[in-house]
Amino acid sequence: MTKRLKSIMIIDDNEFDCYITSKLINSHDDTIDIMEFNSSVTALQYLQEFQNDTQKLPNLIFLDIYMPLMDGFEFIEHFNQFSKVLTDYTKICIVSSTIDDYYINKAKLDANVLFTSKPISKEFIASLIF
């Protein structure tokens, strides 16, 4: 990533994974604003409301694939229908513990979407932030 990250959104139904990811981010840069959502539906509602306000939007979303109600792929479908302001400003990184090649390849089909395995490593965080 070329621009400095000001805000990161974490979308994961597992609160422990959210906590660990937040701590890793803060260990590299404690000035980054972190938004945590345990529901992809609630996160989409937030993004829809602020889709044209870059002051409220995250630069990056860490998105879990497996979640109740709406999985990560469904989230991306909805996300891509929002304003160009949002889709240009915010990048998505799918985070998953899957070992299923189908889901890994599906995640990598979209060139605008990054992919990393759980747990997120310090090195991966550093590569995005610095």
Q: CATH number of the domain that 47 lies in?
A: 3.40.50.2300
pLDDT digits (tens, 9 = 90+) for 87-113: 999 999 998 876 666 666 666 666 678
Number of domains in the chain: 1
Question: Mean pLDDT across the stretch 38-61?
Answer: 96
pLDDT above 90 for 45: yes
The two structure tokens encoding residue 112: 């605008």
| 64 found inside a domain | yes
| 2 found inside a domain | yes
Structural domain boundaries enclosing 44: 1-6+37-117
**Whole-prediction pTM value?**
0.89
pLDDT above 50 for 2: no
Coil vs helix vs strand at 114: strand
Question: Mean pLDDT across the stretch 103-125?
Answer: 76
Distance, in Å, from the CA atom of 44 to the CA atom of 79, rounded to the nearest integer, reads: 7
